[in-house]
Structure 1
């Protein structure tokens, strides 16, 4: 997977340096809000980090990349999701 180098321009901003995260010993969890008809389909897993941040990964590719967010970034995302700011991304029923 190609990833721009830290400091490279990407779309209008700089690509931040991504810290290495040792995932050994993290307690990963996945939402229970999964489509029961989609057995085996990947989901998103999250794990709290010792510094208060949150690690995020694709449960179908557990050895793949891990994204790291600060507590403030995750708080903003979760509150936005609760307020419906991302509802347009969901398939209409």
Structure 2
């Protein structure tokens, strides 16, 4: 599993979310909604400190992460977090990761 945060998405999180060095951005699955790979579930994010990260990326002092408890939602996929200029919000792009499924 890979977690990629584009530079434009990084800028949006810095400007809009108010994350600090002692917290981070957590991505997780939530009930209701739809993604390109999940029907009935959508992706959410919150500002919090990592507890048991499955994967984390520290970029310019901000930690972006997915917790181990959210493996069910992301297993078999890489996640790219981009920025949707029209909607002025993050855009989540899932890419199948066959190696992740073998583990």
TM tier, shorter chain? Answer: under 0.3
* Structure whose CA Rg is larger: 1
TM-score, normalisation: structure 1: 0.27
TM-score, normalisation: structure 2: 0.25
Structure number with greater CO (CA < 8 Å, separation at least 6) is 2
Q: Which has the higher strand share?
A: 2
